[in-house]
Amino acid sequence: MALRVENTRLNPRCADELLAEFLRVIHAHAPDSPLEIDLSALRFIDPYGLITLCLVGRYARTVVPRVNYRMPAAYALRSYLGRVRFAQALDGIEMLGPDLIVDQGREKADSEALMEITRIQAQADVESLLGHIAQRV
């Protein structure tokens, strides 16, 4: 089964629509078949959209045996997804299609304009992240 993102931009309104469609699809489909989420049409994803994609993938893994994300064709978006470490945030979910771009020369550990996707599971994670942001500022 596949869920295709039709929009070229995943902004808050589109992300909310994606969540509603995802919940409709995931609960109507056979639990033993894999789910593919097709992002190939996307050209832009805002931070809310990134978090939505992470939550969708994480939830889908509790319902179906395998989840795949088909990566966007847009080079700039694949570069952005590589820099925010999208694949690492979706550990255990297979990325299909064009590879994410990881330009070692551009990837800086302390980017002033970009924050990597960070999993927060405990209060210590929040404190560590806030300390890291404070050092940047």
Q: 34-64 as b/e, with b when 16 or more CB fall inside 10 Å? A: ebebbbebbebbeeebbebbbebbbebbeeb
pLDDT number for residue 127: 82
Length of the chain: 137
pLDDT number for residue 3: 94
Across all residues in the chain, what is the average pLDDT?
87
DSSP 9-75: EE-HHHHHHHHHHHHHHHHHS-TTS-EEEE-TT-SEE-HHHHHHHHHHHHHHHHHSS-EEEEPPS-H
Answer yes or no: is pLDDT of 104 > 80.
no
Task: Among 48-57, 59-68, 94-103, name the one with the lowest average pLDDT.
Answer: 94-103
Which residues lie closer than 8 Å to 105 by C-beta, 6 or more apart?
A: none
Higher pLDDT, 95 or 122: 95
Q: Which CATH code is given to the segment(s) 2-104? A: 3.30.750.24
Percent of the chain past pLDDT 70, that is, above it, reads 88
The pLDDT-based confidence of 29 (bands split at 50, 70, 90) is confident
**pTM, whole model, 2 decimals?**
0.79
pLDDT number for residue 1: 82
pLDDT number for residue 31: 80
Residue ranges of domains in the chain: 2-104
pLDDT number for residue 135: 76
